[in-house]
Amino acid sequence: MKSVSRRQQGKGALELIEEAVHLLRTAPAGALAAYYLGGLPFVLGLLYFWADMSRNPFAYEHAAEASLGLAMLFLWMKFWQVVFARKLRAAVALAPPEPWNFTRCRRVWLAQSALQPWGLFLLPLSLLPVLPVAWVYAFFQNLTALDDGESPRLRELIRKSARQAALWPRQNHVVLLILLLFGGCVFLNWTIFGLVLPNLARTLLGVESVFTRSGFGLLNTTFFAAMFGLAYLCVDPVAKTVYVLRCFYGESLASGEDLKVELKHATAAGRRVTAALAMLLLITPHLTTCTFGASPVPLSSRFATAASPAEAGQRKSPSRPTSDAHPRSPSALSSSALDDAIAEVIQQRKYTWRVPRDTIAKPEANQAGLLRRFLDGIKKPVRAMVEWVDRVLRKLFTSNRTVTVGGASALGWVLLLKLLLYALVVAAVVALGWLLFRWLQNRRRPSIGVVGEAVRPAPDLTDENLGADQLPEDGWTKLARELFERGELRLALRAFYLASLAHLAERNLISLARFKSNRDYELELRRRGHSFAGLLAVFGENVSVFDRIWYGMHEVTGELVLQFAANVERIKAGG
């Protein structure tokens, strides 16, 4: 029921964007090639049209032809964006790429030509209170993501796009806000790079140009249009991928296609494990005998401390229960000592974020006048800083010389630059003040006591959507030991594996995500923890054991679980 409710409510915005970036990074090269095959000609044509219409004195003579050419480049871009979206959709659904014939290309071209130009008028109008901008933006993105060229009727495409645009409005608004902030940062980075590039070329290569002699030579509409075009080419593929995923999950509510994809992932993982085991059986049969318990020496004895011959004989005997097969089983710890250890651990500050807010004791100190005292204290220094900045800007931009050529344009750019500098100074002062306020607040904040609460029920380890972030590392370890004592060895093995993932995530060696597979975690650990050679080997061994037990039909024994737990302890110790 929990997974069904989550599918109905939709994924979080950050999780969706992270999955979109992962999909875009692992997408076939033909997908990005298709996008830039359509996007680059349009952006270059737009920049040429912009510069020509703003500076060429004879532009009116060929304005109609240039406008028609730019419109054709726009439709060309929209067609290839549909191809890009269909390739991503095939990658998400684990389906073969769809063939493109003349009939399908013609239907896509006609649909995009009839619907996408309306976005040039409706998107600016949606910024007004008349229309919701997030819905309109999602609608036109869905026109690209959902156009498969199969249906000749435009009404069906419009209906599906409108229905998907109205789905999960909170997710849509948060995604649009994040993409807007990300696009602003990319635009600012490209602008700084463009301003620094002429001086960098002069310093490194000795190339002197008009832009190095005049600091304001680059500050024109064509330069900012070029920076906007570069930012669009960087951000728009991510936005298209996000809305491809939104449409995929939205349509899956009725078709269940996302569940089919998860089953395909599980089947593919099982096939890889089966193939690896088959090769292992052919190459090293004696290693297989040792792995599955046919060896006269138990595997756990290689990692346990030395024991007497009588105890070794007891471990070899098949008539003895599993709990007696290892003298150092987790049940040796008394319940009172375990309760004390748990109480000591949950009092640590790093676990207080998991405690409900209403169970945390409120601080007794009165901090009602803290903000007022802080503002009164910084009022004079801030006022002095603002007056100093104002004097500096007046000296920079106040001149008695008269501008004779292009005076109105130059004055406008100087005024705009002055306003931008004022805005940056104000933003820097506000950010510095906020950081100083948070620092003072953290220093004066008293220690927060944590009120104990009843232990929450253990998570369902049989749920395939269970994530390692639902319990801390110690919680998974305790649950694994309890399952081991009850004889549920397969579930105990998974709990130990989730404990290792939680530990690696706490050390920032991996980042937990629902869409990542065990192979993804192994590759990520290889990138981030390449200096821990022993850690990589132990984790890879545990992943191999877990895959063939959890996704395969191999038998799990108590000795194998104890060996797996010993490897988890080695991972905690640093490999």
How sure is the predictor about 314, in pLDDT bands with cuts at 50, 70 and 90? very low
Q: What is the pLDDT of residue 403?
A: 41
Q: What is the pLDDT of residue 573?
A: 78
Cα 49 from chain centroid? Answer: 37
Is the confidence at residue 327, as pLDDT, over 90?
no
| Mean pLDDT across 426-441 | 79
| Phi, psi (rounded to 5 degrees) for 442 | -70, -30
CA–CA distance, 495 with 516 (Å, rounded to integer): 17
Cα 424 from chain centroid? Answer: 29
Is the confidence at residue 464, as pLDDT, over 80?
no
Cα 161 from chain centroid? Answer: 25
How sure is the predictor about 320, in pLDDT bands with cuts at 50, 70 and 90? very low
CA–CA distance, 531 with 575 (Å, rounded to integer): 11
Is the confidence at residue 532, as pLDDT, over 90?
no
pLDDT in tens, 188-197: 999 888 888 8
Between 394 and 133, name the one with better pLDDT: 133
CA–CA distance, 530 with 524 (Å, rounded to integer): 10
pLDDT in tens, 497-510: 888 888 888 888 88
Beta bridge partners of 450: 360
Comparing 11-25, 273-287, 300-314, 494-508, which segment has the lowest mean pLDDT? Answer: 300-314
Cα 381 from chain centroid? Answer: 41
Give the CA angle between residues 370, 375, 378 to the nearest 5°. Answer: 125
How sure is the predictor about 444, in pLDDT bands with cuts at 50, 70 and 90? low
Q: What is the pLDDT of residue 184?
A: 92
Query: How much of the chain, in percent, has pLDDT values that exceed 90?
Result: 5
Is the confidence at residue 6, as pLDDT, over 70?
no
Cβ count near 370 (within 10 Å): 14
Closest CA to 84 of 25, 144, 13: 144
Q: What is the pLDDT of residue 352?
A: 58
pLDDT in tens, 367-406: 445 656 666 777 778 778 777 767 776 666 554 444 444 4
Q: What is the pLDDT of residue 209?
A: 73
How sure is the predictor about 134, in pLDDT bands with cuts at 50, 70 and 90? confident
CA–CA distance, 398 with 412 (Å, rounded to integer): 14
Q: What is the pLDDT of residue 146?
A: 85
**For the chain, which residues make up each domain, given as ranges?**
2-255, 269-301+324-356+455-572, 370-399+407-444
pTM listed for this prediction = 0.48
Q: Exposed, middle or buried: residue 164 (CB in 10 Å: 0-12, 13-18, 19+)?
A: buried
pLDDT in tens, 75-87: 899 888 898 888 8
Closest CA to 551 of 273, 279, 288, 291: 273
The structure tokens listed for 161 are 């796009």
Sign of the torsion formed by the C-alpha atoms of 488, 489, 491 and 495: positive
| Phi, psi (rounded to 5 degrees) for 555 | -75, 140
Looking at residue 194, its amino acid is G
Q: Please tell me what DSSP assigns to residue 454.
A: P
pLDDT in tens, 204-255: 887 777 677 666 667 778 888 888 999 999 999 999 999 999 888 888 888 8
Length of the chain: 575
pLDDT in tens, 142-179: 888 888 877 767 888 888 888 888 888 888 888 889 99
Is the confidence at residue 31, as pLDDT, over 80?
yes
